[in-house]
């Protein structure tokens, strides 16, 4: 098995600090690991989420973002190609 490390605080810490430290360690482990290549930003309008790409054609973080992007494209097409 690969080497592993276990961390223990030198002194008692408040729960919020322990939570922040756990989140920071998890973020560093994720960004240093192989899954970082699959991290994507959602392309939907007004969405600020990131997601792990599970399928080669996946562009959005969730189905509702995909619907929002398709509706925005539809409105843009019909707004610019209106009656002459």
Encode pLDDT of 72-82 as tens digits.
889 888 887 65
Total-model pTM: 0.63
Instruction: Specify the pLDDT at position 20.
Output: 94
Full residue range of the structural domain in which residue 80 is found: 38-84
Is 77 among the domain residues? yes
Instruction: Specify the pLDDT at position 54.
Output: 93
Tokens of 62: 């969730």
Rounded CA separation 14/18 (Å):
6
Tokens of 51: 């997601």
Rounded CA separation 69/73 (Å):
6
Is 32 among the domain residues? no
Tokens of 13: 């810490």
Is 67 among the domain residues? yes
Rounded CA separation 62/47 (Å):
10
Instruction: Specify the pLDDT at position 39.
Output: 94
21 pLDDT more than 80: yes
| Pairing between β-strand 50-52 and β-strand 39-41 as defined by DSSP bridges | antiparallel
Instruction: Specify the pLDDT at position 5.
Output: 81
The tally of domains found in the chain comes to 1
84 pLDDT more than 70: no
């Amino acid at each position: 098995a690969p080497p592993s490390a276990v961390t223990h605080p030198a002194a008692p810490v408040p729960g919020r600090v322990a939570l922040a430290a756990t989140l920071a360690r998890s973020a560093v482990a994720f960004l240093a690991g192989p899954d970082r290549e699959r991290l994507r930003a959602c392309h939907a309008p007004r969405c600020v989420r990131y997601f792990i790409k599970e399928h080669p054609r996946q562009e959005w973080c969730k189905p509702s973002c995909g619907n929002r992007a398709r509706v925005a494209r539809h409105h843009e097409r019909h707004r610019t190609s209106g009656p002459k």
